[in-house]
């Protein structure tokens, strides 16, 4: 992707109209790379409003790709000044100034702040604004759209707690893109430059997309927490539990990555070992609380994985199902 610094506008992006070939939930890296090459020269000035964990990460990473980050803005001046000093030709500005100086504005502020912030600023046509929230609908950018700006979403599917380390995480992660053309192609080209895998979100699907992703992120922490709680209830100290459980969790994720979910399945359900599952249930029910029911629900989900793996015969599957439904005890 050839980049030209200067004063161009988003409308100066060149490329065939047929670039909308990236329809569908997932666009492969190869396809995205081709799109970016086809787009050719991008001339645009980018600003970030909101420079917390994600804003800092994205602004730095895009600047390293040679993108023209002209302004960064936050509520406080000092963090913006510190960030601007790390980015060539970038200035710390007030939000409205930053917006005025840019063709493409990233609103990387907390989700609940996006709508009020958008309404408080003066937008113009021939400008684009994207938010970085996973669950929030593009409707929150309506006041910018009403002023003629293009609107979109650019949600990196990764967690960024430490901006210093986060740039490494961008590469190879996915990014959900939700925008009409020509902004969509601009965002695809940016994703390509960052070596991220774009996911094109169907319109109106953001909340379900983000809720689904939560199972692979923060809700995975809830699963680990359940493991720690059960061990803690039998007297295994909490500070020893996580170091013992992490290699197991990592091994499971690595198996899923290389063999797929059903291919990675191991443990008593995958073997049709009804006796072990019955012992688990007795032990967890004896602990009280919701431990047993939580296990039952997750194990029901595992039955369908085991079925898909083709390794479990129908009789074993039916016995496990009856055990989970409380129709047999072993």
By CB under 6 A, name the binding residues for ligand NAP.
49-55, 74-76, 95, 108-111, 113, 117, 132-134, 155-156, 159-160
Nearest approach in angstroms of CB 225 to ligand NAP is 19
Nearest approach in angstroms of CB 300 to ligand NAP is 31
Nearest approach in angstroms of CB 329 to ligand NAP is 45
- Look at strands 174-179 and 150-157 and give their pairing: antiparallel
Collect all residues with Cβ–Cβ distance below 8 Å to 253 and sequence separation of at least 6: none
User: Between residues 51 and 84, which has the closer beta carbon with respect to ligand NAP?
Assistant: 51
User: Between residues 140 and 306, which has the closer beta carbon with respect to ligand NAP?
Assistant: 140
Round to whole Å and give the CA distance between 255 and 264: 5
Round to whole Å and give the CA distance between 59 and 62: 5
Q: Which of 158, 1, 109, 113 is nearest to 65 (CA)?
A: 1
Instruction: Return the number of other C-beta atoms located less than 10 Å from residue 316's C-beta.
Output: 17
Q: Which of 112, 134, 103, 107 is nearest to 211 (CA)?
A: 134
User: Between residues 50 and 152, which has the closer beta carbon with respect to ligand NAP?
Assistant: 50
Nearest approach in angstroms of CB 56 to ligand NAP is 8
User: Between residues 156 and 193, which has the closer beta carbon with respect to ligand NAP?
Assistant: 156
User: Between residues 53 and 300, which has the closer beta carbon with respect to ligand NAP?
Assistant: 53
Q: Which of 142, 37, 122 is nearest to 131 (CA)?
A: 142
User: Between residues 109 and 320, which has the closer beta carbon with respect to ligand NAP?
Assistant: 109
Round to whole Å and give the CA distance between 158 and 217: 8
Q: 4 with 42: CB under 8 angstroms? A: yes
Nearest approach in angstroms of CB 179 to ligand NAP is 16
Nearest approach in angstroms of CB 123 to ligand NAP is 15
Dihedral, CA atoms, 168, 172, 173, 178, nearest 10 degrees?
A: 120
Collect all residues with Cβ–Cβ distance below 8 Å to 111 and sequence separation of at least 6: 131, 133, 135, 136
User: Between residues 53 and 308, which has the closer beta carbon with respect to ligand NAP?
Assistant: 53
Q: Which residue is nearest to ligand NAP (CB)?
A: 52
User: Between residues 199 and 269, which has the closer beta carbon with respect to ligand NAP?
Assistant: 199
Owner of token pair 């992490």: 246
Cα separations (Å) of 280 from 126, 269, 293, 303? 61, 11, 11, 16
Helical ranges in 45-94 per DSSP H? 53-64, 77-84
Nearest approach in angstroms of CB 325 to ligand NAP is 39
- What DSSP string describes 106-134? EE-S-GGGHHHHHHHS---SS-EEEE--S
User: Between residues 210 and 280, which has the closer beta carbon with respect to ligand NAP?
Assistant: 210
Nearest approach in angstroms of CB 116 to ligand NAP is 7
Nearest approach in angstroms of CB 79 to ligand NAP is 7
């Amino acid at each position: 992707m050839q980049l030209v610094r200067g004063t161009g506008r988003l409308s100066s992006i060149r490329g065939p109209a047929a670039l909308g070939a990236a329809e569908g939930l997932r666009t492969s890296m190869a396809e995205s790379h081709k799109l970016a090459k086809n787009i050719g020269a991008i001339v645009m000035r980018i600003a970030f409003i909101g420079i917390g964990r994600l804003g800092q990460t994205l602004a730095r990473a895009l600047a390293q790709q040679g993108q023209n980050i002209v302004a960064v803005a936050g509520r406080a001046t000092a963090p913006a000044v510190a960030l601007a000093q790390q980015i060539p030709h970038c200035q710390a500005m007030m939000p409205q100034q930053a917006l005025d100086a840019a063709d493409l504005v990233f609103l990387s502020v907390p989700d609940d702040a996006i709508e009020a912030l958008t309404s408080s600023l003066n937008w113009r046509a021939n400008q684009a604004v994207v938010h970085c929230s996973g669950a929030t609908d593009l409707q929150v950018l309506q006041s910018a759209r009403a002023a003629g700006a293009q609107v979109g979403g650019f949600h990196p599917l990764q967690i960024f707690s430490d901006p210093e380390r986060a740039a490494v995480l961008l590469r190879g992660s996915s990014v959900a893109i939700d925008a009409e053309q020509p902004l969509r192609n601009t965002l695809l080209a940016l994703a390509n430059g960052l070596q991220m895998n774009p996911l094109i979100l169907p319109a109106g699907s953001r909340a379900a997309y983000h809720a689904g992703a939560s199972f692979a992120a923060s809700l995975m922490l809830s699963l680990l927490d359940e493991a720690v709680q059960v061990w803690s209830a039998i007297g295994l100290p909490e500070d020893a539990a996580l170091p013992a459980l992490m290699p197991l969790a990592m091994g499971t994720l690595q198996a899923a990555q290389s063999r797929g979910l059903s291919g990675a399945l191991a443990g008593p359900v995958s073997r049709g070992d009804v006796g072990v599952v019955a012992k688990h249930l007795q032990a967890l029910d004896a602990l009280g609380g919701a431990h047993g029911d939580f296990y039952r629900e997750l194990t029901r989900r595992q039955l369908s994985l085991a079925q898909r793996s083709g390794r479990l015969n129908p009789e074993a599957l039916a016995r496990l199902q009856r055990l989970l439904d409380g129709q047999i005890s072993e």
